[in-house]
Amino acid sequence: MLPYKSHNEKITLLKNGSLDLVENVKYFLSEIEKRKSLNCFLEIFSDDVIQNAEIISEKIKTGKAGKLAGMVIAVKDLLSIKGKRMTCGSKFLENFYPIYTATCVQRLLNEDAIIIGKTNLDEFAMGSSNENSAYGIVRNPVNEAYVPGGSSGGSAAAVAAFQCDVAIGTDTGGSIRQPAAFCGVYGLKPTYGRVSRYGLTSFASSFDTIGAFARTTYDVAALMEVISGYDEMDSTSVKYDVDNYSEDIKSFKKFRIGVTSSLIHEAYSPEIKSKWIATIEKLKLLGHEIVYIDLPHSEYSIAAYYILTTAEASSNLARFDGARYAKRSNESKDLSEMYINSRSEGFGAEVKRRIMLGTYVLSSGYYDAYYLKAQKVRRIIKNDFDKCFKQVDAIIIPTTPTPPFKIGEKTENPLEMYLSDIFTTTANLAGIPGISIPVGHSENGLPIGIQLLADQFNESTLLQLSRQLEMYNYL
């Protein structure tokens, strides 16, 4: 096991010579090799990380190192790194090499973080179980017969399996929070526009956010401090001050916590309900005020989410036609056939399903009935949250309706798979931040997470509450 829990402990050990960074990196590489069956990584930068560890070790000795010096980070293979292969979990991009680095990754490198590799994911981030990757499924490190969640399952599993310190993921409808819950780690989805999306291959542009996985609240805070902030390269990036999250989490401020039954359905697991109620009781014991609220239109969130995101996906993925990007069919006789064959061969079943759904809801005769109506529902859901956040500082709900499910259990029923996002999609529809916090295990030992939501740009509130619950659980 590692001799530290969080990066502030790690950097202290590196500075006083108790920990050798090169050996630390080799430890992670050995853990990746030891548990290759998890299939967390699509590419490992073995030579680069050793070389970078040596350079950063010297910087630490001379006091010239950045904020994240020595932090070993895995990056979801949906984000570009110049000269490194980026597949997006798809055969379409199996030989694609970006010519620039994503802003959030560059900010990590600027602060002397070490990127250990690119993690596996559901193809183009479309999935809730990490069974849709063209490069094989990812397995849950707690029990390999179960899914790690998706689409950022590779990042979540890598952190849970001690194959890196922290990881970067993306969240379109729960793709950070759900796998964080399934793997028993912390996962923060920030406010839309808080982190630059430059260098991210978009699934649904008005929903996608970039966030963090870690084994401690402190590491989530430290990572978010660095990757957050305005970026002129991203038109959706917001000019809003970034809080000093790693200092803020030391506060034991008391908050008003909203509790609602609007999102709770009969189909969710009794084990989830038990952990949800137990976490509410912990918050009471910590001195927080519990306020009962209502989110009356949340029941429409899944329908609105899948109409809007599939519409955006069909538009975003139109550029993958065999003419401009990596995959091109060799069986084509003319241009039209090249488009059809390239997309048929390059995309997997789930991506094709969502493209067809999106094209349908945007088509003449159905645009008003589906797409336009879903946009109106999105606005109503946002209004519901706005009203609630006038009463409370945060809202507590389950992250998932059930603990992790078995590999293959839901692949034949897409609708049932989509419903596993029932508690997470509302945050993306409203553009608000959310964090999943590990709160224990089910009867068969699988992780369970509980989710906290806050108003836009109030990530600090979520991190403070997460840290308080983390410390409570250590007592």
- Rounded mean pLDDT, 406-410: 96
Which residues, other chains included, contact 378 with Cβ-Cβ below 8 Å and sequence gap of 6+? 304, 308, 429, 430
pLDDT band at 474 (very low <50, low <70, confident <90, very high): low
pLDDT band at 53 (very low <50, low <70, confident <90, very high): very high
Burial class (CB within 10 angstroms; exposed 0-12, middle 13-18, buried 19+) of 232: exposed
Contact (Cβ atoms closer than 8 angstroms) between residue 89 and residue 121: yes
Q: How many CA atoms lie within 13 A of 389 on its CB side?
A: 19
- Ranges of each domain in the chain: 7-251+429-474
pLDDT of residue 459: 98
pTM of the model: 0.96
- Rounded mean pLDDT, 55-76: 96
pLDDT of residue 475: 55
Model confidence over 143-176: pLDDT tens digits?
999 999 999 999 999 999 999 999 999 999 999 9
Active site residues: 76, 151, 175
Is pLDDT above 90 for 415? no
Partnered with residue 75 across adjacent β-strands are 118, 168
Q: What percent of the chain has pLDDT over 70?
A: 98
Alpha-carbon span 381 to 307, nearest angstrom: 15
CATH for the stretch 7-251+429-474: 3.90.1300.10
Residue 401: closest CA among 289, 302, 284? 302
Burial class (CB within 10 angstroms; exposed 0-12, middle 13-18, buried 19+) of 188: buried
CB count within 10 Å of CB 217 equals 26
pLDDT of residue 264: 61
Residue 224: closest CA among 210, 205, 236? 210
Alpha-carbon span 115 to 138, nearest angstrom: 20
What is the dihedral angle through the alpha carbons of 442, 466, 208, 193, rounded to the nearest 10 degrees?
170
| Range in 185-199, 323-337, 412-426 the model is least confident about | 323-337
- Treating both helix axes as pointing N-terminal to C-terminal, what angle do 7-16 and 217-227 enclose, rounded to 10 degrees? 90
Q: Edge to edge, what strands does the sheet with 447-454 contain?
A: 41-44, 114-119, 72-76, 166-171, 209-214, 186-189, 434-441, 447-454, 394-398, 256-259, 289-292
Residue 57: closest CA among 10, 104, 101, 2? 10
Is pLDDT above 90 for 42? yes
Element (H, E) at 192: none
Alpha-helical segments (H) within 130-210? 153-160, 177-183
Distance of CA 162 to the CA centre of its chain: 17
325-329: Cβ within 8 A, 24+ apart: 325/92, 325/93, 325/96, 326/92, 326/93, 326/94, 326/95, 326/96, 327/91, 327/92, 327/93, 327/94
CA distances from 335 to 45, 321, 330, 341, 356 (A): 38, 10, 12, 10, 21
pLDDT of residue 470: 97
List the structure tokens of 109: 């490198």
Map residue 226 onto helix, strand or coil: helix
Is pLDDT above 60 for 266? no
pLDDT of residue 329: 85
User: Considering the chain, what is the average pLDDT of its residues?
Assistant: 95
Contact (Cβ atoms closer than 8 angstroms) between residue 40 and residue 81: no
Element (H, E) at 284: helix 270-285
pLDDT band at 297 (very low <50, low <70, confident <90, very high): very high
